[in-house]
Amino acid sequence: QVQLVESGGGLVQAGGSLRLSCAASERSFSFYTMGWFRQAPGKEREFVAAISWNGLDTRYADSVKGRFIISRDNAKNTVFLHMNSLKPEDTAIYYCAAARGLVTITQYNYWGQGTQVTVSS
């Protein structure tokens, strides 16, 4: 069982930056594809970014491409989401998730509790 704990959310002005972190409890963290998802009020949860087990392959939603960067530190069992040029429409609860499989996987097995990101205009 992998436990995931997100941190780093908060309130930021449009155009600002935040870095989200997700710490995993599992020593086999390095074997998992990791993803970030978000859910805005009244909307369905959507994919944001994913990174392969070795960090060499990444995927992004079109809405964040060029602004967000996903990275990981397997030695620290942590995955990051660097968010730049934030927009009010990025406001959401952000979740990290883990899956065994390729970076293109769509079914994730483990989820964190989420961290709130609010972008003011």
Residue 57 confidence (pLDDT): 96
Residue 30 confidence (pLDDT): 87
Q: Is the dihedral of CA 112, 101, 78, 21 positive or negative?
A: negative
Residue 83 confidence (pLDDT): 98
Tokens of 33: 């594809």
**pLDDT tens digits, the chain, 121 residues: what are they?**
889 999 999 999 999 999 999 999 987 888 999 999 999 999 999 999 999 999 999 999 999 999 999 999 999 999 999 999 999 999 999 999 999 988 888 899 999 999 999 999 9
Residue written as token pair 């998992």: 32
Residue 21 confidence (pLDDT): 98
Supply φ then ψ for residue 60, to 5 degrees: -140, 150
Please spell the DSSP secondary structure of 90-113, one letter per residue.
G-EEEEEEEESS-TT----SEE--
Residue 29 confidence (pLDDT): 87
Measured CA distances, 46 to 36, 61, 76 (Å): 9, 9, 26
